[in-house]
Amino acid sequence: MTGRQSQAAVLLLGALASAACGAPHSGPRSPASPTPSATASPAPFVAIQVDTMAWGEANIHPTLQWFRKRLVNDTAARGIYVSMLRYPAGVINPSHTHPHPHGFYVLQGQLVTSRGTFGPGTFVWFPAGEVIHHGAGPAEDMVALFISGAPFKIDYVNR
C-alpha cells in the first residue's frame, strides 16, 4: 500500500466514523434532517495502529475462510461496523444480502464483485438488500477497509 492510499484510507475512515457517530454536520440540513441532541454525548475517541493488530478469523461462512481486524468494537452504540478484511487469493464470498449499505476501500489486490473487479485505491459501495458476491482475485490476497451499518448481518442466498 502506498503512502497516498494509506492517507486516503485514514481520511475516508475518519469521515465515515464521524458521520456515523453523530459529529457536527458542516453542510446545510434539510428540514427532514434531525438535529443532534445537545445532551447526546459524543462517542469516545479511537486511534488504532492497525499494522500491529493480528488477523482474526471472520468465521462467517460455513465452508470459506477470510480474515479481519475489527477496528471499532462498540459497533451497536456507534451505528457503524468498521474492519480491515483480507480475503485469500481466489476466495469469493458467495451470493448474499445485507440489510444495510456497505462499502470497501481496496488497499491491496483485486476486489472481485458481482458488479465488476476493482483495484487498489477504489471505493466500492453496495446498497442495502442487493444480492451480491465479493472476494479476492486469483493472483493475490485482497485487503480492504470495510464499512457497514451496524449491527452487522449477512444472509446467504441459495441460487
Q: Write the CATH number for 14.
A: 2.60.120.10
Number of domains in the chain: 1
Range scoring the smallest mean pLDDT among 46-60, 111-125, 129-143: 46-60
Please give the Cα distance from 146 to 68 (Å, whole number). Answer: 9
Q: What is the pLDDT of residues 9-46, one digit of tens each?
A: 544 554 444 444 343 333 333 344 344 444 455 677 88
Q: What is the pLDDT of residues 90-126, one digit of tens each?
A: 999 999 999 999 999 999 999 999 999 999 999 999 9
The three cell numbers of residue 107 are 488497499
Confirm whether 28 is domain-assigned: no
Confirm whether 92 is domain-assigned: yes
Confirm whether 112 is domain-assigned: yes
Q: What is the pLDDT of residues 118-128, one digit of tens each?
A: 999 999 999 99
The beta-carbon contacts of 9-18 under 8 Å, at least 24 apart in sequence, are: 9/105, 9/107, 9/145, 12/105, 12/123, 12/145, 12/147, 13/71, 13/82, 13/145, 13/147, 16/80, 16/82, 16/147, 17/46, 17/72, 17/78, 17/80, 17/82
Q: How confident is the model at residue 63 (pLDDT cuts 50, 70, 90)?
A: confident
Beta strands in the chain (DSSP E): 56-57, 67-70, 80-87, 92-97, 102-108, 111-113, 116-118, 123-126, 132-136, 142-149, 155-156
Domain of residue 81 covers 3-22+53-156
Range scoring the smallest mean pLDDT among 29-33, 48-52, 78-82, 148-152: 29-33
**Higher per-residue confidence, 150 vs 73:** 150
Confirm whether 68 is domain-assigned: yes
**Higher per-residue confidence, 121 vs 48:** 121
Confirm whether 70 is domain-assigned: yes
Q: How confident is the model at residue 7 (pLDDT cuts 50, 70, 90)?
A: low
